[in-house]
Chains A and B, each alone.
Chain A
Amino acid sequence: KAGVTQTPRYLIKTRGQQVTLSCSPISGHRSVSWYQQTPGQGLQFLFEYFSETQRNKGNFPGRFSGRQFSNSRSEMNVSTLELGDSALYLCASSSTGPDTQYFGPGTRLTVL
């Protein structure tokens, strides 16, 4: 089976812009979780989607949002980018819940 794929792998944006990241889960997996990884804060949970519904949410401002499509693919959006949003954004998929999460390679976002 193919693993979790994320696109794009690298992004450079400027402050105030918005960005959309995409995640395709492992085939058959219906749960997708998103995490932000930074050197200072480590890995932090953003949100989880299951069957097109947000099931869990972390402590991030409303500028961070996401959605999941009927084919389980997920997108996350960050509006009004700030310098502090520079990070590696990781998504992880699992078959149903609860189950083991498998991570993708991440999208490296740089905000200038």
Chain B
Amino acid sequence: GENVEQHPSTLSVQEGDSAVIKCTYSDSASNYFPWYKQELGKGPQLIIDIRSNVGEKKDQRIAVTLNKTAKHFSLHITETQPEDSAVYFCAASIGDSWGKLQFGAGTQVVVTP
């Protein structure tokens, strides 16, 4: 069945350093890949997303890359700040239905000043 694996499960970085989170997916029909940030007591907040016809997308300090052949995509956060500390989830559409997402297990990112 559909599966999204996410690594690492925890990531500690010094303020100002970069953070990279990697995900792999199994469904060849997946064509939409969002990333969400979840802070304690809140719902997931979309931070960036990418569609299958794009290899890379950037928004200020955040970038996502997609390799459809290898079925993996990555989140890159540069110049990390303490407010970047949260749990980050990758997700992939199940088939071509964007309303149905398969999520990775999450990465706890801790940015220390």
Binding site for B on A (CB under 8 A): 4, 31, 33, 35, 42-45, 48, 50, 55-56, 58, 90, 94, 97-106
Partner-binding segment picked from B19-27, B55-63, B70-78, B99-107? B99-107
Tally of contact residues, B, Cβ under 8 A: 25
Binding site for A on B (CB under 8 A): 32, 34, 36, 41-46, 49, 89, 91, 93-94, 96-106
In the complex formed, the residue of A with least CB distance to B100 is A56
Interface of B, secondary structure class, is: strand
Q: Give the residue of B42, B44, B98, B106 whose beta carbon is less than 8 angstroms from that of A98.
A: B98
Give the distance in Å from the alpha carbon of A35 to the alpha carbon of B43 in the complex.
11
Give the distance in Å from the alpha carbon of A45 to the alpha carbon of B94 in the complex.
10
In the complex formed, the residue of B with least CB distance to A41 is B105
B42–A45 touching, CB < 8 Å: no
User: Which A residues touch B100, using CB under 8 A?
Assistant: 33, 45, 48, 56, 58
